[in-house]
Amino acid sequence: MNDLPTKISLGTATPGGGFPLYGDAAAAAVNETDPSLLVQTKNTAGSAENIRLLEADELDMALVAGEPAYEAFAGIGRPTSNLKIIAAIYSSPGMFAVRGDSSAKSVRDLVGKPIAWGTRASGITLLGKYVMDGLGLDRESDFEPHFLDKAADGPVMLAEGRVAAQWGAGIGWPGFTAITKAGGRLIGLASDDIEKIRTKHNFLKPIVVPAGSYPGQTEPIQAVGSWSYILGRVSLDEDMAYRFAKALDFAHAKLVERVEQGAETRPENTLAASPNLQRIHPGVLRYLADKDVDSIA
């Protein structure tokens, strides 16, 4: 009899970003909840590499931001991907962070300035490209772009004055937490900017960052963004996906204790954030049906 747990490899991103924070928390919560599973996280270059590793069957599951997932599913700049959604994990509103002594109040105030956009392979960095494009700006030619080796480098560059702003996304994003703890502040979008962006890129959704989401943030911030996912390789066993989805659901309280963004990791959100049912892994669909999540046939 084999009592060894089923190992699941979970790709995250570079140290210092939101994906390693979330991935480690999710792995620990799932492993505690279902000892028959052993989720092991692996640092990667981020969403773009995670898609490649999943397609090569070198990872079982991986965290992928909404924009790279959208491009992969739609076949934008690459062949259409058939990777499957295991869970929608959290929404990612894109924003800039500046130092407390910055005079910048809007995106337009940052045009021509040095910006830390994140790592090249990060979905957050790609979100910045789409948001700027929706505003009629180019992420590289209308700013002085800085692309990072590690997500954690950005807040240091901002603190030292080497960049005027850090682009990032999410609620509880580590880079923004570090910047706002040091007295920095966040810059979102005006309502007409959101409308303009969504006219061009309607897969981006309006998201409000509640007041108090970050240190010193006294007002809600308007932004746009998308849902990040845990995606699974196409060949992932149906039973494994079912067991993982069930454990992640049952581990919800443990997950939220470890990472605030885990509050959005619910089966209902997986259904709502998926482009269609065919994109959801069959094992996860079976769990959603067992749980009687709305609209599952």
The β-bridge relationship of strands 221-232 and 84-98 is antiparallel
pLDDT (average), residues 164-178: 94
* pLDDT at 168 > cutoff 80: yes
What is residue 295's predicted lDDT score, i.e. its pLDDT?
Answer: 60
pLDDT in tens, 22-33: 999 999 999 999
Q: With a threshold of 0.75, does the pTM exceed it?
A: yes
pLDDT in tens, 96-146: 999 999 999 999 999 999 999 999 988 999 999 999 999 999 999 999 999
Q: Which of 26, 41, 12, 68 is nearest to 253 (CA)?
A: 26
Q: List the Cα angle 275/199/168 in 5-degree steps.
A: 70
Q: What is the mean pLDDT of the chain?
A: 95
pLDDT in tens, 62-84: 999 999 999 999 999 999 999 99
What does R_g of the chain's alpha carbons equal in angstroms? 19
pLDDT (average), residues 56-61: 98
Domains defined for the chain, CATH in brackets: 6-90+227-290 (3.40.190.10), 92-225 (3.40.190.10)
CA pair distance 60, 41, nearest whole angstrom: 10
The single-letter DSSP state of residue 80 is P
What is residue 3's predicted lDDT score, i.e. its pLDDT?
Answer: 80
CA pair distance 202, 134, nearest whole angstrom: 10
Structural contact between residues 20 and 13, judged by C-beta atoms closer than 8 angstroms? yes
String of DSSP letters for 173-231: -HHHHHHHHTT-EEE---HHHHHHHHHH-TTSEEEEE-TTSSTT--S-EEEEEEEEEEE
* pLDDT at 297 > cutoff 70: no
pLDDT (average), residues 9-19: 94
Confidence bin at 16 (pLDDT 50/70/90): confident
Residue 257: how many other CB atoms lie within 10 Å: 13
pLDDT in tens, 203-256: 898 999 999 999 999 999 999 999 999 999 999 999 999 999 999 999 999 999
